[in-house]
Amino acid sequence: MKFTINRNLFIENLNNVMRAISSRATIPILSGIKLDLSEDQLVLTGSDTDISIEIKIPVSEDLSVESTGSIVLPARFFSEIVKKLPGKDFSFEVKESFQTKISSENSEFTINGLDANNYPRLPEIPEESSFTIAGKILREIINETQFAVATQESRLVLSGVHFTFSPDSIKAVATDSHRLSERTIALENGPQTKTDLIIPGKSLQELSRIIGEADPEVKVCPGDNQVLCRIGNIAFYSRLLDGNYPDTDRLLPTESTTSVEFDLADLSSALDRASLLTHAGRNNVVNLNLDTENGKVKLTGTSAEIGNVEEDVNFKNLDGKNLTISFNPDYLRDALRASVTDAIVMKFTQPLRPFTVTPNKDDVQFIQLITPVRTF
C-alpha cells in the first residue's frame, strides 16, 4: 500500500474522522483509524461503536496511488504526526509486518500498524426509506434541542433527542426531566411515511459540527438500530436508542395566569449578573418576582458565603397575577441561548409548576419548559 496526498486535504478529512474515535475505546483496535486504499479512492474510517464516520477521498491531482491495500494506525499518534509534517504533500507506505513509513521533505516517521481485517465492519443500511434535508435546518434543530438531553444514564432514552420526521415537518424534543426543549420546523421534501428516531445527544453534537456553517444537503437513511447521514463525501453513522420516548406533549401547559415579554439581550445580561453569586453557593437558584400591580420585574440571587444581588429587569409586556418563582439560572440561560428571536415570552401558572419560554412570534414553533425549584 503506497500513496502520496496533499497534506491539507488529508488533515481536513482526518479531523472529521477523529470525531468518532475515543481515547477510551473498549475494543483496542477502535483506538485506531482505518485506511483503505483502492485504485480510485482512499477511505478513512473511525468508530467508537456509538458513532462511526467513513470518508472517501477520490483519486485526483491531490491523491496519487502507487499500490493498494489497507491498514489500521494508532489514531492519536498518526494525527499528530501528519499535522506536524513539513511540506505540502506527504507519502505513505506500508511495509512488512504492518510497519508504516510516513515521509515529507526531510522528515520520516515509521509507526506500527494493525491488520485492517480485524477492524469491525460498518453496518449496512438500506437507502430505500432515505430522505434529504437542508444541513442548515438539521444543524439549527440540533442546536435548539440537544443541550436539554439527560447526561445521567439512569434513563437512557432521555440521553437522546426524539425526532419525528413527516412529509412536511421535522419535530425534535429533548428533556432531562428538569427542562424540555421542543422545536418544529417545516420541511419541503420529508419522508413519505412518518419516521421516529431517538438519536443520542453526543452523536448529534458531532453531526452538528461536521455540518458546520455551510448548508450542505444531508441524506438521512434510517435503519433498525442505526441511522446513516450522508454529507458530501462523509458517511456519519450513529446508533439509535431503544425504548419509548415519553409523551412530552401532555407536559406542556395550555394556559397561563401570568406572562411577561423580555428583550433577549436584557434578560440574558441580568441573568448573568444574578448567577455570578448563585454559582458560588450550594444551591444555584435565582428568584424572579413579577409584580403586575406595580409593573415591576425583579431578579434576585443569594449566596450565604458571598452575599446577594437584586436587579429590576426591563421588560416589554407584563400581564396577569403577581407571582414569585425560583429556578436554576443555567436552565434559563441555555433556553435563551437557543432562542431564535430577539424577544421571548415567559408564561407561568403557579410558583411550583413548570413555566414556558417561547419566541414572541406566533409563526415560530419553539417551546421550552423549565421546572422551578422549591425553596421552602
Residue 188 has pLDDT above 90, yes or no: no
Cα 234 to chain center, whole Å? 17
Closest CA to 280 of 300, 302, 311, 298: 302
What pLDDT is recorded for position 376? 63
DSSP-derived letter for residue 240 is P
Q: Cβ distance 345 to 358 under 8 Å?
A: yes
pLDDT given at position 277: 82
The amino acid at 321 = K
Report pLDDT for 173.
98
Contact between 160 and 200 (Cβ < 8 Å): yes
User: What residue numbers bound the domain in which 317 lies?
Assistant: 252-370
Q: Which of 89, 118, 147 is the last residue of a domain?
A: 118
Q: What is the pLDDT of residues 214-248, one digit of tens each?
A: 888 999 999 989 999 999 999 999 999 999 999 99
User: Could you read off the pLDDT of 115-161 as tens digits, one per residue?
Assistant: 999 999 999 998 888 999 999 999 999 999 999 999 987 789 999 99
As a whole number of angstroms, the distance between CA 202 and CA 157 comes to 13
Q: What is the pLDDT of residue 303?
A: 79
- Residue 281: the pLDDT is 67
pLDDT of residue 351: 93
With a cut of 70, say whether residue 79 has pLDDT above it. Answer: yes
Sheet holding 89-94, edge to edge: 63-67, 2-6, 89-94, 99-104, 107-112
In a shared domain, residues 184 and 223: yes
Q: Which residues contact 148 (CB under 8 A, 6 or more apart)?
A: 174, 175, 176, 179, 180, 181, 334, 368
Q: Residue 306: its pLDDT value, please? A: 82
Counting residues of the chain whose pLDDT is more than 70, the rounded percentage is 99
Q: Which residue bears the cell 413548570? A: 354
- Does pLDDT of 191 surpass 90? no
Residue 128 neighbours by CB under 8 Å, 6+ apart: none
Q: Classify residue 126: in a domain, yes or no.
A: no
Within this chain, do residues 54 and 92 fall inside the same structural domain, yes or no?
yes
Query: Do both 110 and 135 map to the same domain?
Result: no
Type of residue numbered 229: C
Q: Is residue 275 part of a domain?
A: yes
State the pLDDT at residue 34.
Answer: 97
Do 133 and 218 meet the contact criterion of CB atoms below 8 Å apart? yes
Domain of 305: which CATH number? 3.70.10.10
Average pLDDT, the chain: 93
Last residue of one domain, picked from the residues 118, 147, 182? 118
Query: Does residue 376 sit within a domain?
Result: no
Q: List, for residues 263-314, the tens digit of each pLDDT value.
A: 999 999 999 998 888 887 677 899 999 999 999 999 998 877 788 889 999 9
Residues 232 and 340 placed together within one structural domain of the fold: no
Would you place residue 333 in the very low, low, confident or very high pLDDT band (cuts 50, 70, 90)?
Answer: very high
Residue 192 in this model has a pLDDT that exceeds 90: no
Measured over the CA atoms of residue 181, residue 182, residue 185 and residue 187, the dihedral's sign is positive
